[in-house]
Amino acid sequence: MAKYGFIGTGNMAQAMIKGLLAQGVVPSDIAVASPTTAAKLAQAWGVQALSAQQVIQASDLTVLAFLPNQLADVTANLVFEDQLVVSVLAGVSVDQLVTATGSHQVVRTLPNVNVAINQGVTAFATTTLTVANQAIFHDFSTQLGTAIAVPEAQFAAFSAIAGSGPAYVFKFIAALAKAGVANGLADDLATTIATQTVLGSAQMLAASGQSAQVMQDTVASPGGSTRAGLDDFDQQGFDAVVAHAIRATVEHKHA
Ligand SMILES: NC(=O)c1ccc[n+]([C@@H]2O[C@H](COP(=O)([O-])OP(=O)(O)OC[C@H]3O[C@@H](n4cnc5c(N)ncnc54)[C@H](OP(=O)(O)O)[C@@H]3O)[C@@H](O)[C@H]2O)c1
């Protein structure tokens, strides 16, 4: 089994570690380093807390999971040689990672929080990896969900849909539940119904091989109540609202 290391153990690293543990990676095969949280995770989850340099040495793949503006400081005194480095640092390019680490075995990734339940979608861009490192990264990333090679120029768009997307789906679920309450359902019940409906619909769509547009038409019979609702969404400019919010997200990430 490959050994995985994390330098930085905040929200994203913890989501990834949870996902790996849920897939049966043994805690002692995961090494972590950070000023304070790493020791707590070692106690709580049984992973190994080490210094950052020890993490690199103990791991087949080292994840950089601190804040992007810490890259130069954190890597300044670390020796990576040609270690496989996987970065989750938003906005930090493959070239910048090579410069900072000195490794030529580098993967820039953009995971989303759903990696914690092995349902993440992760964009990645790499240097030319050895065959062995390709296999190590493939095993690592597929344990966390789906990994997709994406040109670096498209990372900002990917981030708006996949990174911020979970928050937007939660917003839709909240709106759906609120509308249920406005129409007489109890709060908890409305939330359960809305959540399960979104979960089941996404699974149905993924299994169907059809487009989301076709699936809408499948559910909405002509002249029926669902069609009336879909027509109302269109009249209210639902697609334009979503497109506007995504644009705001992409432009913010570029700011
Ligand atoms: N959260 C997301 O949904 C998300 C999505 C995509 C990408 N990302 C990227 O993931 C990275 C981490 O984000 P986050 O949300 O997990 O941040 P976070 O919760 O603030 O965690 C930052 C981590 O960096 C650690 N750290 C601080 N100084 C360090 C040092 N000198 N050496 C090693 N570790 C150090 C902190 O350690 P202590 O806890 O011990 O202080 C903390 O564990 C960012 O680069 C972000 O762009 C996050």
- Residue 180 pLDDT > 80, yes or no? yes
Both 225 and 105 in one domain: the answer is no
**Contacting residues for 81 by C-beta, under 8 A, at least 6 apart:** 102, 103
Range of the domain at 216: 163-254
| Average pLDDT taken over every residue of the chain | 96
Burial 7-34 (b: 16+ CB within 10 A, else e): bbbeebbbbbbbbbbeeebeeebbbbbb
Q: End of a domain among 156, 186, 206?
A: 156
Tell me what pLDDT residue 255 has: 47
- The mean pLDDT value for 101-116 works out to 96
Q: Cα 211–216–222 angle (5° rounding)?
A: 135
Kindly state whether residues 171 and 217 are assigned to the same domain: yes
Share above pLDDT 70 across residues of the chain, in percent, rounded to a whole number? 99
The count of residues in the chain is 255
- Ligand 1 pocket (Cβ < 6 Å) reads 7-13, 33-37, 52, 65-68, 70, 74, 88-90, 110-111, 113, 163
Statement to judge: residues 18 and 113 lie in one domain: yes
What is the arithmetic mean of pLDDT over 120-124? 97
90 Cα nearest atom in ligand 1: 47
Do 14 and 129 reside in the same domain of the chain?
A: yes
Q: Per-residue pLDDT averaged across 174-185, rounded?
A: 98
- Are residue 118 and residue 94 in the same domain, yes or no? yes
Do 200 and 123 fall into the same domain? no
Query: pLDDT digit string (tens) for 150-173?
Result: 999 999 999 999 999 999 999 999
Query: CATH code at 244?
Result: 1.10.3730.10
Do residue 125 and residue 147 come from a single domain?
yes
Q: Which residues pair with 62 in a beta bridge?
A: 5, 85
C-alpha of residue 238 to centroid of ligand 1, in Å: 35
| H-helix or E-strand spanning residue 32 | strand 30-33
Site to probe by mutation for ligand 1, drawn from 88, 96, 110, 121 as the one with most ligand atoms within 8 Å of Cβ, is: 88
Both 132 and 31 in a single domain? yes
Count of domains observed in the chain: 2
Whether the pLDDT of residue 254 is over 70: the answer is no
Closest to 159 measured CA to CA, from 121, 216, 130, 205: 121
How far the first Cα of the chain sits from its last, in Å, is 41
- Domain boundary residue, one of 121, 156, 191: 156
- CA 123 to ligand 1 center in whole angstroms: 18
Residue finishing a domain among 115, 138, 156: 156
CATH number where 10 lies: 3.40.50.720
127-147 residue pLDDT tens:
999 999 999 999 999 999 999
10 and 108 share one domain: yes
Query: How many other C-beta atoms can be found within 10 angstroms of the C-beta atom of residue 136?
Result: 22
- Structure-block tokens of residue 65: 């999971």
150 and 169 assigned to the same domain: no
Q: Which positions ≥6 away from 184 have C-beta within 8 Å?
A: none
Residue 112 CA: which ligand 1 atom is closest? 5
The whole-number pLDDT of residue 30 equals 98
> What's the pLDDT score for residue 1?
85
Same domain as 167, residue 85: no
Q: Are 22 and 117 in contact (CB under 8 A)?
A: yes
Q: Whose CA is nearest to atom 25 of ligand 1?
A: 8
